Amino acid sequence: MAAIETSRPAPFGAITTYRAVNVLSNAFAAFSAWNDARVTRKALGKLSDRELDDIGLCRGDIEMLGR
């Protein structure tokens, strides 16, 4: 009985390319999350103390968001 091997090694450089794309994707996701948190903190920083109290936050809570 003959056996046929159906798995082949990845083409030259495919794994390296995959890892490079994965690193770039992770870096973009981290930058995007950081920027979203920055925009949120900036918007909350513009609110008055009364407005922050209405949503259940104080000035000290703003810096802790997104970390």
Per-residue model confidence as pLDDT tens digits over 13-28 = 899 999 999 999 999 9
Q: In whole angstroms, what is the distance from residue 26 CA to residue 32 CA?
A: 10
Kindly give the residue spans of alpha helices, DSSP state H, lying in 1-67.
14-45, 49-54, 59-62
Assess contact for 16 and 23: CB atoms under 8 A.
no
How much is the pLDDT for 2? 65
Q: Is the pLDDT score of 7 beyond 90? A: no
Handedness of CA 63, 65, 41, 50 (dihedral sign): negative
pLDDT digits (tens, 9 = 90+) for 41-58: 999 999 999 999 999 999
Q: Tell me the average pLDDT of the chain.
A: 90
Task: Give the domain ranges of the chain.
Answer: 26-67
Kindly report whether the global pTM for this prediction surpasses the value 0.75.
no
